Structure 1
């Protein structure tokens, strides 16, 4: 599958923390819904494997952007933050954040699908996507301070809580915000 080849090529760019990253990704891939979950419940890439496709798109766009604007930032950091920025959407081990919605009895009777394909898993304790992602990753992988900031604030001004970092974002944070927006609003809406 083309998506899995793109994904592996990105993971292969992590060199100095290769072993730790491989262990983290093995945990994520085997214990969470990261490889199968949608990117959203009803918006961009609302389909199986949507999160993986979005994460790969963000990583590839981030590498392109940083090559022009900030070549001093390592490919490794770019790949790490891009692949982990929405990790929280995978939920917790054994408990995905997004569950498939079933059509209502009336929708079934008329042959219609569910109004929205997915819904939030109400059995999960609420954590924001970046915080859940850090919870899953940080105890298993050595993130830098810049990587943590980029992951936590990747939604930029679209999230009220992010005002605390306004005008204090590091380069990696700004580049991840732009790659995420470009992927979600341009690349993935063209499909």
Structure 2
């Protein structure tokens, strides 16, 4: 099964709310399934964003799902779509790199950021999802604050993240799953930093 097939299987099995099919139809028209997850860190390769989304889902589901307390649909939405903001965000460019073996300069592809809709990170993902389907408050908070202390608002001194984590356990769980996937599971998944 390909990563795209796995994503679609999870999404179609668990995400049933109104607007979910319209959202998926839109998503399939974007570069979400081929985009990188970053320009040079984890998943800086074709399909890196999709790989990261699946890793976050698996980590979130395996480590943090509590039967009777958590929702399969919420876990699928939050994990699979938390980095939706990265669709239509990167572009491929080239740079000259000297080949160590031949000594010749060669054009090598790399990713650059081209943010046509600079709305933030987590908040942009929430906005894009809600164009099609309503999120529960806990889902919106989890997606909005999944970056934890790396979020620009938190780095700028906002205390809203602490309140969100205190009120919404799903936000803490998603952040932890994102961290583990990024720094442990996806180490050496960049075509830039091998």
Report whether the alignment pairs 1:111 with 2:106: yes
Q: Is the 8 A contact 1:107 1:113 kept in 2?
A: no
Deviations 1:92-150 (A, max 9, x none): xxxx210112114x759612525xx100115x142212222222211210110000000
Q: Which residue of 1 aligns with 2:138?
A: 146
Alignment partners' CA distance in 1, 2:14 and 2:133: 12
Q: Which residue of 2 aligns with 1:179?
A: 177
Q: Is the 8 A contact 1:37 1:50 kept in 2?
A: yes
Q: Is the 8 A contact 1:13 1:75 kept in 2?
A: no
Q: Which residue of 2 aligns with 1:29?
A: 28
Task: Quote the offset at 1:10 in angstroms.
Answer: 1.3
TM-score, length of structure 2 as denominator length:
0.83
Q: Secondary structure at the match of 1:113?
A: strand
C-alpha root-mean-square deviation of aligned residues, in Å?
A: 2.1
| 1:1-191 to 2 correspondences below 5 Å | 1-17=1-17, 20-30=19-29, 32-67=30-65, 70-71=66-67, 72-90=69-87, 96-104=88-96, 110-111=105-106, 113=108, 117-121=110-114, 124-162=116-154, 163-169=159-165, 170-189=168-187
Deviations 1:4-37 (A, max 9, x none): 23212311332542x522221111111x211111
Going by fraction, where is helix more abundant, 1 or 2?
Answer: 1
Q: Secondary structure at the match of 1:101?
A: strand
Q: Is the 8 A contact 2:42 2:188 kept in 1?
A: no
Cα distance change on mapping 1:168 and 1:15 into 2, 3 Å: closer
Q: Secondary structure at the match of 1:7?
A: helix
Consecutive unaligned residues of structure 1, counting only runs of 5 or more, are 91-95
Cα distance change on mapping 1:102 and 1:15 into 2, 3 Å: closer
Q: Work out the number of aligned pairs and report it.
A: 178
Q: Is the 8 A contact 2:94 2:107 kept in 1?
A: no
Q: Which residue of 1 aligns with 2:192?
A: none
Task: Quote the offset at 1:84 in angstroms.
Answer: 1.2
Alignment partners' CA distance in 2, 1:143 and 1:38: 25
